[in-house]
């Protein structure tokens, strides 16, 4: 089979490799569409000494075979899955490996392209909201005003955070966005006090408008889906202590955060923590419960994926997609690739 490997210069090489065999608890998936993520170019930059790696984590396709002990899936099932980061056989290949607990069923209603936008970004959003910020879950929505700042609402993680928060009846949503504001407008509910703050107006305006949008309600929770360029500093200045900001990147050690404001990073890889190694299993069990919930939402229409753009060339188009992600060209869109478009692949 063919796989695409990303090196430290974000150069992608497509190579022929063996088809893997799923181990106990794993699912082998014939990939139809793979999603791309910013981490796919960032990780190779951060780990220059690591060998080129298949960085793809968003899988959409059909079950090819299952490992010992897998009971929820069988050959031919239409599925999406979140591949274990940095593990072998990611979604940039004809076949990928995922664990049973990060795989969920799809119906005919959901396209592979839409499904490939979901796993990593949606789970990152869910972990941040419900595990780090401890906000009400969608099946136990709040009935009281609960202001929430979401910084980077047009990003995939930010948009999914808006969708999940709305399912939990969390309002007002104070969403910071820029050129993707028109997309965010279609996600929020102005009648419930939701609003958009344009970060391009400057730091002082962002801070004052976040506070104004909450009215008389204190703001104790924020999801920063950007975590760069002073985003969490602006947010922290507008919150009411005690408060928590969850970020997708680690904060800088020398940044001064106001007293009483906690920053707790969301790491989506925590759903793959191994309980046998003495690590916590809370996030893994959350993922095992929440991925099927996402699948139900896609099937029933009360949840949807992110807008997408199909990049031509299949695996040969991965490099261009990652370079455009690195250049910041993606706004309110996820780049996906169809594996069958790869030179030498016939599906």
**CATH (domain of 61):** 3.90.180.10
In a domain, 113, yes or no: yes
Asked if residue 283 is part of any domain, the answer here is no
Strand pairing category for 221-224 and 243-247: parallel
* Distance between CA atoms of residues 107 and 76, nearest Å: 12
Domain count, the chain: 2
Q: In which band, very low, low, confident or very high, does the pLDDT at 276 lie, cut at 50, 70 and 90?
A: low
pLDDT of residue 346 exceeding 90, the answer is no
- Dihedral angle over CA of 57, 1, 337, 29, nearest 10: -50
Rounded Cα–Cα distance for residues 319 and 10 (Å): 7
Q: Which residues make beta-bridge pairs with 176? A: 151, 197
Confidence band for 113, pLDDT divided at 50, 70 and 90 = very high
Last residue of a domain, one of 266, 298, 314: 266
Co-location of 181 and 216 in the same domain = yes
Query: Is the same domain home to 59 and 34?
Result: yes
pLDDT at 230 (0 to 100) = 85
Residue 339: band (very low, low, confident or very high) from pLDDT cuts 50, 70, 90: very high
Tell me what pLDDT residue 347 has: 66
The CATH number of residue 147's host domain is 3.40.50.720
Does 81 share its domain with 207? no
Mean pLDDT across the chain, nearest whole number?
A: 95
Q: Please give the Cα distance from 231 to 176 (Å, whole number).
A: 9
pLDDT, mean of residues 329-341: 95
Answer yes or no: is 271 within a domain.
Answer: no
User: Is pLDDT of 65 > 80?
Assistant: yes
How far apart CA 86 and CA 41 sit, in angstroms, is: 12
- Angle at which helices 282-300 and 119-126 pack, to 10 degrees? 120
Domain extent at residue 221: 125-266
Q: Is 101 in the same domain as 136?
A: no
Q: What integer pLDDT is reported at residue 255 of this predicted model?
A: 84
- Work out the burial of residue 108: count CB atoms within 10 Å of its CB; fewer than 13 is exposed, 13-18 middle, 19 or more buried: exposed
How far is the C-alpha of 182 from the C-alpha of 53, rounded, in Å?
Answer: 36
**3-class state of residue 66 by DSSP:** strand
Same domain, 140 and 262: yes
Phi and psi angles of residue 173, each rounded to the nearest 5 degrees, phi first: -90, 125
Q: Say if residue 91 is in the same domain as residue 147.
A: no
At 191 the three-state DSSP class reads helix
pLDDT of 252 reads: 84
> Do 297 and 253 lie in a common domain?
no
- 237 and 136 both lie in a single domain: yes
Alpha carbon distance 95, 3 (integer Å): 8
Q: Which of 208, 234, 266 is the last residue of a domain?
A: 266
Q: Does 272 fall in a domain?
A: no
Residues 225 and 180 in one domain: yes
Task: Supply the pLDDT for residue 253.
Answer: 79
- Burial letters for 26-63: b for 16+ Cβ neighbours within 10 Å, e otherwise? bbbbbbbbbbbbbbbbbbbeeeeeeebbbbbbbbbbbb
């Amino acid at each position: 089979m063919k796989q695409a490997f990303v090196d430290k210069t974000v150069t992608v090489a497509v190579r022929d490799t063996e088809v893997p065999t799923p181990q106990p608890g794993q699912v082998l998936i014939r990939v139809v569409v793979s999603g791309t993520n910013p981490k796919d170019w960032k990780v190779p930059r951060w780990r220059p000494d690591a060998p080129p790696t298949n960085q793809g984590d968003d899988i959409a396709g059909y079950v090819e075979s299952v490992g010992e002990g897998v009971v929820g899936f069988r050959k031919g099932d239409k599925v999406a899955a979140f591949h274990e980061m940095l593990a072998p056989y990611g979604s940039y290949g004809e076949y990928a490996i995922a664990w049973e607990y990060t795989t969920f069923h799809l119906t005919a209603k959901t396209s592979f392209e839409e499904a490939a936008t979901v796993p990593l970004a949606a789970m990152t959003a869910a972990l941040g909201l419900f595990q780090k910020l401890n906000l009400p879950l969608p099946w136990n929505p709040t009935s009281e005003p609960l202001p929430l700042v979401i910084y980077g609402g047009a990003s995939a993680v930010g948009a999914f955070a808006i969708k999940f928060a709305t399912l939990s009846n969390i309002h007002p949503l104070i969403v910071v966005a820029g050129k993707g504001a028109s997309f965010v407008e279609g996600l929020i509910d102005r009648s419930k006090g939701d609003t958009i703050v344009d970060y391009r107006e400057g730091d002082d305006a962002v801070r004052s408008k976040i506070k104004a949008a909450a009215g008389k309600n204190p703001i104790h929770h924020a999801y920063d889906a950007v975590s760069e360029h002073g985003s969490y500093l602006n947010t922290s200045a507008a919150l009411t202590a005690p408060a928590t900001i969850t970020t997708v990147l680690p904060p800088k050690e020398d940044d001064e955060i106001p007293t009483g404001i906690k920053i707790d990073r969301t790491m989506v890889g925590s759903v793959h923590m191994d309980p046998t190694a003495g690590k916590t299993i809370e996030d893994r069990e959350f993922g095992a419960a929440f991925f099927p919930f996402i699948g139900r939402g896609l099937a029933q229409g009360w949840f949807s994926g992110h807008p997408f753009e199909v990049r031509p060339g299949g695996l040969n188009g991965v490099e261009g997609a990652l370079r455009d992600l690195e250049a910041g060209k993606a706004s309110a869109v996820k780049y996906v690739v169809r594996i069958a478009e790869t030179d030498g692949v016939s599906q």
